[in-house]
Homo-oligomer: A and B are copies of this chain.
Amino acid sequence: MPYFDTASAAPLHPVARQALQAALDEGWADPARLYREGRRARLLLDAAREAAAEAVGCRADELVFTPSGTHAVHAGVAGALAGRRRVGGHLVVSAVEHSSVLHAAEAHAAAGGTVTEVPVDRFGAVSPVEYASSLSSTTALACLQSANHEVGTVQPVAEVAGLCAEAGVPLLVDAAQSLGWGPVEGPWSVLTASAHKWGGPPGVGLLAVRKGVRFAPQGPADERESGRSPGFGNLPAVVAAAASLRAVRAEADAEAARLRVLVDRIRRRVARLVPDVEVVGHADRRLPHLVTFSCLYVDGETLLHELDRAGWSVSSGSSCTSSTLTPSHVLRAMGVLSEGNVRVSLPRGTTAEEVNGFLEVLPRAVAGVRAELGVPDAVPSVPPVAESMEVDALGLRCPQPVIELARAIVSVPVGGTVTVLSDDEVARLDIPAWCAMRGHTYLGETPHGDAVAYRVRRAV
């Protein structure tokens, strides 16, 4: 059964499994102890650190192991901010960082710091010049992901790292999605990653802090891992993480080239096979294995269930699939459609047959969901009935407000306006996105009681 959500978690790589087995026998003791079991554990830990540091492109004594990528980010952000407290309390992040970075930024703001979110373009990328312009004399730290976890867009990290270095600001790079594919280029200062994203076991993150970067670990003291990651280490998992990183790197170039072709095929075919679809993220500057698209007039959760029933496991940034019922902050920052959103991230070894099977199932699944929602195949061409009209979509949830808008727009002439009243938060993202897709003019929003009135001018 094909699993197409490797950006969320990857099954254990065979090399990781082997290494884990061996390390369960040899590496269960405390590496700080002086007896033979402790010395053996210490040797394994040192070797794992050397291997991981080589893959990251840093010195072994610059790298520590944490219990997860999230722990690495939290510890990295807090330590780097505290290390430069005298410089100031300003933190710069991109608007499309992983939630672990944004939550660390929120905690910083709650503690009295200031945060600037650098916006992204429609593909999800920051502009290096715009990023650099957000740095100030009080900026303690800047954060930028190497590649986006939801749409796969690769950020201009080397350029941004260079500009940060010129400004004397350390750059923390969250390399969770890309480290399995290759090292991060450029003069970064702090780097974080997560082993279970590259086929290593869960329970291991990496935190690299370059020599010379001011860094003051926060929280209660602990002598392990250079004082940067408390708790008894998970040595068997650390050994497995390092071994699998080395293994996936050895095959990364060949596998990236192979998956890139499959993803290109999905990008092209989805746009052709599914009506009213928007493929998002950058077509070229992207991770090799990841593609995201959004389907108009589709309920994301229902679509995921349909695909799951047909045997395909994928992810979504739609609001209906989130516990908070808000759409993905990444799609929102890009200003692209979030309804009916599907993220496909191919595991290593995915075959062309599996991809073809998905492309066969997907259009049927989308059509099925639309039929259930009562979306006609094509909105009938009718004579306009009024210069302007108001659609009451109060109480309706995504994707209904957009469906109502699409039905209404043909009832006004070109140049006429439709006003949609909606209390669904997602409409704020999806109505403008629908206008951009359809070539209509989005006129803006005004408050309407507890709801919002969105105005659209028919342009075609």
Residues of A within 8 A of B (CB): 1, 3, 5, 8-12, 17, 20, 24, 28-30, 32-38, 67-71, 74, 99-100, 103-104, 106-107, 194, 196, 201-203, 205, 219-223, 230-237, 301, 304-305, 307-308, 313-315, 321, 323
From residue A21, how far is it (CB to closest CB) to chain B in Å? Answer: 9
If A17-B24, A33-B5, A220-B100 touch, does A235 touch B202 (CB 8 Å cutoff)?
Answer: yes
- Can you spell out 21 A-B residue pairs with CB atoms less than 8 angstroms apart? A3-B35, A5-B30, A5-B33, A5-B35, A9-B29, A11-B28, A28-B202, A33-B313, A34-B301, A36-B308, A68-B230, A69-B231, A69-B232, A74-B219, A74-B220, A103-B222, A104-B220, A107-B221, A194-B232, A202-B232, A234-B237
Contact B29 A12 (CB under 8 A): no
A301–B33 CA distance with the chains assembled, in angstroms: 11
Closest to A41 in B: B9
From residue A235, how far is it (CB to closest CB) to chain B in Å? Answer: 6
Q: Which residues of chain B are within 8 angstroms of A10 by Cβ–Cβ distance?
A: 28
Q: Which residues of chain B are within 8 angstroms of A237 by Cβ–Cβ distance?
A: 202-203, 234, 237
Contact B9 A201 (CB under 8 A): no
Q: Which residues of chain B are within 8 angstroms of A99 by Cβ–Cβ distance?
A: 222
A209–B104 CA distance with the chains assembled, in angstroms: 24
Contact B71 A231 (CB under 8 A): yes
Contact A36 B1 (CB under 8 A): yes
Contact A100 B230 (CB under 8 A): yes
Contact A202 B236 (CB under 8 A): yes
Contact B203 A67 (CB under 8 A): yes
Q: Which residues of chain B are within 8 angstroms of A34 by Cβ–Cβ distance?
A: 301, 304-305, 308, 321
Contact B313 A36 (CB under 8 A): yes
From residue A381, how far is it (CB to closest CB) to chain B in Å? Answer: 38
Given B69, B202, B313, which contacts A37 in the complex, CB threshold below 8 Å? B313
- List 8 additional contacts besides A12-B28, A74-B219, A107-B219; criterion CB under 8 Å: A12-B24, A28-B196, A28-B202, A34-B304, A35-B314, A100-B230, A106-B220, A205-B231
Contact B74 A201 (CB under 8 A): no
If A29-B8, A230-B100 touch, does A67 touch B70 (CB 8 Å cutoff)?
Answer: no
If A34-B308, A70-B230, A234-B203 touch, does A9 touch B28 (CB 8 Å cutoff)?
Answer: yes
From residue A91, how far is it (CB to closest CB) to chain B in Å? Answer: 12
A1–B30 CA distance with the chains assembled, in angstroms: 17
Q: Which residues of chain B are within 8 angstroms of A223 by Cβ–Cβ distance?
A: 323
Residue of A24, A233, A315 with most partner-chain B CB within 10 A: A24
Contact B33 A71 (CB under 8 A): no
From residue A10, how far is it (CB to closest CB) to chain B in Å? Answer: 8
From residue A11, how far is it (CB to closest CB) to chain B in Å? Answer: 5
A12–B21 CA distance with the chains assembled, in angstroms: 11
A208–B362 CA distance with the chains assembled, in angstroms: 44
A30–B11 CA distance with the chains assembled, in angstroms: 11
Q: Which residues of chain B are within 8 angstroms of A321 by Cβ–Cβ distance?
A: 34
A305–B20 CA distance with the chains assembled, in angstroms: 29
For the complex of A and B, the 6 pairs showing the least CB-CB separation, nearest first, are A67-B67, A68-B231, A203-B234, A35-B313, A70-B231, A103-B220
Contact A100 B222 (CB under 8 A): yes
Q: Which residues of chain B are within 8 angstroms of A220 by Cβ–Cβ distance?
A: 74, 100, 103-104, 106-107
Q: Which residues of chain B are within 8 angstroms of A313 by Cβ–Cβ distance?
A: 29, 33, 35-38
Q: Which residues of chain B are within 8 angstroms of A29 by Cβ–Cβ distance?
A: 3, 5, 8-9, 313
Q: Which residues of chain B are within 8 angstroms of A28 by Cβ–Cβ distance?
A: 9-12, 196, 202
Q: Which residues of chain B are within 8 angstroms of A196 by Cβ–Cβ distance?
A: 28, 232
Given B8, B11, B70, B301, which contacts A222 in the complex, CB threshold below 8 Å? B70
Q: Which residues of chain B are within 8 angstroms of A12 by Cβ–Cβ distance?
A: 24, 28
Given B24, B36, B201, B230, which contacts A71 in the complex, CB threshold below 8 Å? B230
Q: Which residues of chain B are within 8 angstroms of A36 by Cβ–Cβ distance?
A: 1, 308, 313
